[in-house]
Structure 1
Amino acid sequence: MYVVYFLLLLEVQGILEKLGKDKQLVDESVLIGCTEENEAQFSLDLGEIEQSEVEQLCGGVFVDLRKAFFLLRAHEAPLVAKGQALLRWHQSHKFCSATGQPTFRNQSGSQRVCHSSGFTYYPMMAPVVIVLVSDGNRCLLGRQATFPPGMYSALAGFCDMGETVEETVHREIAEEVGLEVQSLQYSGSQHWPFPQSSFMVACHATVNPDKTEVSVDKVELDDARWFTLEEVTEALQRKKPPRNPKGEPPTFWVPPSYAIANRLISEWAQQQQLKLKRS
């Protein structure tokens, strides 16, 4: 059981005062959204405050963001992701890259300005392609060494300077698994706060069913292999990370429903099921 707390301004100020902090610290928060009732939503960095004290006052615990994504509900995850990304950006852009002088944020936290150079800095996202590769009957999923045991996902890579999305897809698939993409189709996009702040462009790609031998780039991936519709359908039904008995191989599972990788995998499974019904 878990609870995500959305605190009112007065509640946050009260907590700060109990912690011996100036309640005006809330002025350092950044605007991340607005509810349907026109209530502004903000994110505040409490990194300099003793974690255990905050947990005690709020009646909860801090959770690593990657783990939290397996617990958050669909409407909560984008807010948390945006909040973390904006706070990280402010932490790393306190000085002007041209003059070395301090930069100053605007009230909402949407930009920073260097008064010496006049430069205005805006938060930026790095474009990333995330691709589900299919040979017509199976889909190809990979895993990095940092993934939880048993989790496989769609392949992903950063766009190089000057590349189109299409060029990035062809290059990344060739580099990571040694396959040649024949066609691709755009699916959707998503902000993703890792490793810093990424803009995920999701696509489906097909390869020649007669040329499916995978050559894994061990620098980029820990493993990559083909999965059947039956395996994928079973994995999609697992709503949380499986607990594996000691000594047994990890159970295959996929990213949580909030991740766009899950959307790609689900779309592929639905397409395969429709194809089976028509045949």
Structure 2
Amino acid sequence: MKRAETVTFGGSALDRAAPLRPDVEGQAKLWAHEAATVLPLWRGKLLAEAGRPLALRVAEAEVLAEAPRLFLGLAEGGEPLFAADLPDWEGAEAPGSGFSDETEQRHPALPRGAFAELRRMMPALAPREAELAATARALFEWHRTHRFCARCGAESLPELGGWQRHCPACGARHFPRTDPVVIMLVTRGNSVLLGRAPAWPEGMFSLLAGFIEPGEGVEAAVRREVFEETGVRVGEVSYLASQPWPFPASLMLGCIGGAVSEEITLDPVEIEEAVWVSRERLAEIFAGRDAVIRPAREGAIAHFLLWHWLADRLD
């Protein structure tokens, strides 16, 4: 698919500068660089201003130097790029719950901006903003959930600029985790298969998706997931595009599959409702004129694939 990498979080050719990660003294010098910038996070939310992620200079707030940090890479001019994970502060408002967090929190020690949910910013993100935000959020979530060594249980320590954890007790080294997920544009003639999970907001439908299991290829995972969730059989499967999805750390592998059956039999645990939607109705959905179905979230690969199918641009 020619436009595959234009999906949100699809990449910006960031120089991640991996050879610089092992140099502890060099990392300290990069942090002290006068042009170094930091993307602050708190509980997975990003500091934002006017609906966009906000990076600060290291010198703008002392609290940044006290927080765990990641080395994200170098900008085009060689300026170091970091992210910092701030701890809770006194008086911090609790984040929202549910499918989408609409709350914002301001840190008393930061000069500007407020912490906001990344999903809310997706439609406005430039490619570089998106790549930095997705990388930082996924890495910090990995550190939060993998503090202890999977081999011996001792507490491990971050190293390599935040791109590895090392166990001082048994010497094991652990690397960031990414979980592969298939997401499927299943078509039959002029229609596409949409579904909704029980916990989703009313009216929200999307493409079917599921984790790839051990010992399973992408094509087999597409066929299995669609059949398990809806009873629909899929024949030919082709890859279209991918999207890093840092909620918490998945790689969405977008595929198109041709259905060879049409009758729907739901797995009620996974899917509350599934429907075949014609191309004409999908156009109405995207225009916001459908009384029942809302379009998939803008910025997500489901929205991306459906829009390109509707526009006949899956080349």
TM-score category (smaller protein) = 0.7 to 0.9
Match of 1:9 among 58, 64, 67: 58
- SS of the residue 1:227 aligns to: strand
Give the whole-Å Cα distance in 1 for the aligned partners of 2:199 and 2:109: 31
SS at match of 2:56: coil
Q: Which residue of 2 aligns with 1:189?
A: 242
Match for residue 187 of structure 2 among 134, 146, 151 = 134
Aligned-partner Cα distance in 2 for 1:4–1:272: 30
Residues 256-275 of structure 1 correspond to what in structure 2 (within 5 A)?
A: 256=298, 258-271=299-312
Corresponding residue for 2:262?
212
Identity %: 34
Q: 2:155 aligns with which of 102, 113, 129?
A: 102
Partners of 1:118 and 1:273 lie apart in 2 by 47
Which has more strand, going by share of residues? 2
Gaps of 5+ in 2: 1-49, 93-104
- Does structure 1 conserve the Cα–Cα contact (< 8 Å) formed by 2:186 and 2:193? yes
- Which letter does structure 2 place at the counterpart of 1:25? E
Call closer, same or farther: CA 1:99–1:38 in 2, change over 3 Å: same
Task: Identify the range of structure 1 (62-71 vs 124-133) with the bigger mean alpha-carbon deviation.
Answer: 62-71
Tell me the residue number matched to 1:144.
197
Give 1:277's aligned residue.
none
Unaligned segments of structure 1, at least 5 residues: 17-22, 243-247, 275-279
* Corresponding residue number in structure 1 for 2:254: 202
TM-superposed deviation, 1:78? 2.9
Task: Give the match's secondary structure for 2:312.
Answer: helix
Secondary structure at 1:102 match in 2: coil
Asked whether the equivalents of residues 33 and 79 of structure 1 are also in contact (C-alpha less than 8 Å), the reply is no
Contact 1:152 1:254 in 2 (8 A): yes
- CA contact under 8 A between 2:212 and 2:221: conserved in structure 1? yes
**Structure 2 counterpart of 1:66:** 119
Aligned-residue CA RMSD (Å): 2.6
Number of matched pairs: 253
1:56/1:121 Cα in 2 relative to 1: closer, same or farther (>3 Å)? closer
In 1, the alpha carbon distance for the partners of 2:232 and 2:293 equals 26
CA contact (8 A) 2:149 2:155 kept: yes
Please state whether the residue corresponding to 1:214 is helix, strand or coil. Answer: coil
Q: Deviations over 1:153-202 (max 9, x none)?
A: 111001111111111111101001111101111002121122x3111111
CA distance in 1 between counterparts of 2:124 and 2:292 reads: 21
Cα deviation for residue 33 of structure 1 reads: 4.0
Q: Deviations over 1:60-86 (max 9, x none)?
A: 332233334355444423322221110
Q: Which residue among 153, 167, 170 is the counterpart of 2:206?
A: 153
